[in-house]
Amino acid sequence: MHIGELAEKTGLSLRTIRHYDEVGLLKASARTEGGFRLYSPDDFARLMLIRRMKPLGFTLDEMTALLAVIDTRQNGGLDADAPETRQQLDSFIAETVARRQKLHDQLGMADEFLELLRAQMS
């Protein structure tokens, strides 16, 4: 698929997708003869993973590191089950749990604030 279709399917802007390409997070699988980026279903899945990291506040460097661990695990090879790879994945899981909890707590505060505002209508 072309970048426009990928942007539409993911809800991300063309600029964001191009930026991810420039920093190496998501490289297009191919290019047309005219130089337009082409993306595969695997690229779409990778971009959706990146999109899910954004609201949790992962930096581009953290995203790159996590994607490297995921790539290693999915592609098999010598390092796929290495203790270091497993430790890195465990670390990302723990960090994601902590960031999710922070978002959950913030949502609770937003709900309380909304209740206070609505009480002003009475």
Q: How far is CA 109 from the centre of its chain?
A: 25
pLDDT (0 to 100) of residue 79: 86
Mean predicted lDDT score pLDDT of the chain: 95
45-78 pLDDT, tens digit each: 999 999 999 999 999 999 999 999 999 998 887 7
Give tens-digit pLDDT for 94-112.
999 999 999 999 999 999 9
Residue 57 Ramachandran class (φ > 0 left, ψ -120 to 50 alpha, else beta):
left
Domains and CATH numbers, the chain: 1-56 (1.10.1660.10), 57-122 (no CATH)
* Residues 78-83: contacts with CB under 8 Å, at least 24 apart: none
Distance between CA 20 and CA 12 in Å, rounded? 11
Contact residues for 64 (Cβ-Cβ < 8 A; gap 6+):
23, 24, 25
